[in-house]
């Protein structure tokens, strides 16, 4: 650790530091992804472009705080590859404590032996509590019943906290080990996030209607025929949300209430969110089946849309031109009178992503963090 004004050389790349704090990182693993600093100086944002490190040698990186940057009295920080799914971990894959320094100038040398991959491993004691609300939760709008689940933070019973809520579709594929098409492993991903003291949220998961799934998630008349989506949306807003708010410690306002899903579940979530922005302030939309409604109207005249956040995801290896549909949808949102400057939209693209639970699983915690726990975005 140095604190004088010097020049250091790594493989002929010069690191010059004068009156600012310079953090120098060495890591054993060869990995081409950029490295970011996250800490108490940027609200722990894991992919802040203002805090990306510069490669200065073989497996060596540097970040120099700008002149005049107001550092906290004690700087707390971690290194990530862009989100908490790829944060630094110890040599035995254990979670590492926050790094600290009280330096205001000079050089702080650091070392990272390994990086977390795809949010794993997880610790069982951080798994959320999984509660079956009912085997036959009544859906009066559709004259049927359904299994509905709630995933509560692991320490829900030990606190008096109130939590944001995300309503997700297709519960069969979210956390059940023996799912036919695999599952998102949201319980495991939430466990890892909770270990890092983020991601404390209530997930309400509604099982789909099996053979009537497409009809239930289809809104109005589309190329798939006439759907029952409007009735399903009324169930979510008029029956399920009031029940959840009454029976659990929720933050009931729109800024703490989200809806999401993938494929047809993503499509019904778009309709739910855009038609009820006074209820849903967060939308998590993965690989939506926009091909069903190529002329989707988004000119809903509702004033209460300030601060709405929409996380869009699509993979480059999906069928039905999903990626192009999602890109066009984003542009139409940005240009619409309904949205204007009131919404923040994040488009995440995995060029190798396919239309399945494995890729949605990887995207889930990134979306949760951006939607609910990153005030910088």
Mean pLDDT of the 17-23 span: 79
Q: How far is residue 203 CA from its own chain's centroid? A: 13
**DSSP conformation class of 180:** T
316 compared with 31, residue with greater pLDDT: 316
What's the rounded Cα separation, in Å, for the pair 377 and 375?
A: 5
Range(s) of the domain holding residue 296: 124-372
pTM for the predicted model, two decimal places: 0.76
**Tokens 């040698």 belong to residue:** 57
Is the same domain home to 17 and 73? Answer: yes
pLDDT digits (tens, 9 = 90+) for 151-179: 999 999 999 999 999 999 999 999 988 77
- Which of 90, 115, 140 marks a domain boundary? 115
pLDDT at 3: 40
The β-bridge partners of 225 are 222
Is the same domain home to 183 and 294? Answer: yes
Averaged confidence pLDDT in the chain: 87
Is the same domain home to 128 and 109? Answer: no
- Report the largest interatomic distance among the alpha carbons of the chain, rounded to a whole angstrom: 75
Considering only CA atoms, which of 276, 272, 284 is closest in space to residue 311?
A: 284
pLDDT at 304: 67
Strands 60-64 and 21-27: antiparallel
**Is residue 1 assigned to a domain?**
no
CB-based contacts of 76, cutoff 8 Å, min separation 6: 39, 40, 98, 99, 100
pLDDT confidence bin for 375, thresholds 50/70/90: low
**Residue 8 pLDDT > 50, yes or no?**
no
Mean pLDDT of the 47-76 span: 93
Is the same domain home to 262 and 365? Answer: yes
What Rg, from alpha-carbon coordinates, does the chain have?
23
Tally of CA atoms within 13 A in the half-sphere of 172 that contains its CB = 11
pLDDT digits (tens, 9 = 90+) for 201-250: 999 999 999 989 999 999 888 888 888 999 999 999 999 999 999 999 99
Mean pLDDT of the 307-316 span: 91
pLDDT at 5: 41
Query: For the chain, what is the domain count?
Result: 2
Is the same domain home to 101 and 165? Answer: no
DSSP assignment of 60-99 equals EEEEEPPTT----SSEEEEEESSSGGGBEE-TTS---PPE
Is the same domain home to 159 and 81? Answer: no
Helices and strands, number each (H, E), in the chain: 7, 21
pLDDT confidence bin for 377, thresholds 50/70/90: low
What's the rounded Cα separation, in Å, for the pair 222 and 294?
A: 9
Residue 211 is encoded by which pair of tokens? 């053979």
pLDDT at 7: 43
**Is residue 168 assigned to a domain?**
yes
**Is residue 267 assigned to a domain?**
yes
**Residue 332 pLDDT > 50, yes or no?**
yes
Q: Which helix (H) or strand (E) holds 257?
A: strand 257-262
pLDDT at 192: 87
**Is residue 148 assigned to a domain?**
yes
């Amino acid at each position: 650790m140095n604190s004088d004004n010097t020049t250091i050389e790594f493989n002929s790349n010069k690191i010059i530091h004068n009156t600012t704090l310079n953090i120098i990182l060495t890591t054993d693993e060869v990995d081409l992804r950029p490295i970011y600093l996250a800490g108490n100086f940027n609200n722990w944002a894991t992919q802040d472009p203002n805090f990306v490190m510069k490669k200065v040698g073989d497996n060596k990186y540097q970040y120099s705080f700008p002149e005049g940057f107001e550092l906290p009295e004690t700087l707390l920080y971690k290194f990530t590859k862009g989100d908490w799914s790829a944060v630094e971990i110890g040599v035995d894959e254990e979670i590492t404590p926050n790094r600290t320094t009280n330096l205001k100038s000079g050089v702080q040398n650091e070392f990272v032996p390994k990086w977390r991959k795809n949010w794993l491993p997880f610790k069982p004691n951080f798994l959320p509590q999984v509660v079956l609300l009912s085997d036959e939760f009544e859906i009066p709008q559709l004259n049927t019943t359904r299994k509905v689940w709630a995933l509560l933070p692991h320490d829900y019973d030990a606190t008096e906290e109130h939590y944001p809520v995300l309503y997700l579709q297709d519960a069969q594929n979210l956390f059940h080990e023996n799912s036919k098409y695999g599952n998102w492993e949201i319980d495991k991903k939430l466990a890892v996030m909770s270990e890092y003291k983020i991601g404390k949220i209530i997930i309400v998961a509604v099982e789909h209607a099996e053979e009537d799934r497409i009809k239930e998630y289809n809104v109005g008349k589309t190329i798939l025929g006439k759907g029952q989506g409007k009735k399903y949306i009324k169930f979510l807003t008029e029956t399920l949300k009031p029940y959840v708010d009454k029976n659990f410690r929720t933050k009931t306002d729109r800024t703490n209430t989200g809806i999401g899903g993938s494929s047809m579940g993503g499509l019904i979530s778009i309709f739910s969110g855009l038609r009820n922005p006074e209820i849903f302030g967060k939308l998590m939309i993965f690989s939506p089946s926009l091909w069903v409604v190529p002329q989707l109207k988004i000119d809903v005249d509702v004033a209460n849309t300030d601060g709405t956040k929409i996380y869009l995801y699509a993979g480059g290896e999906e069928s039905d031109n999903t990626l192009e549909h999602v890109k066009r949808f984003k542009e139409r949102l940005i240009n619409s009178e309904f949205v204007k400057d009131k919404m923040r939209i994040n488009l995440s693209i995995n060029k190798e992503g396919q239309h399945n639970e494995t890729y949605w699983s990887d995207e889930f915690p990134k979306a949760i963090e951006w939607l609910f726990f990153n005030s910088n975005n």
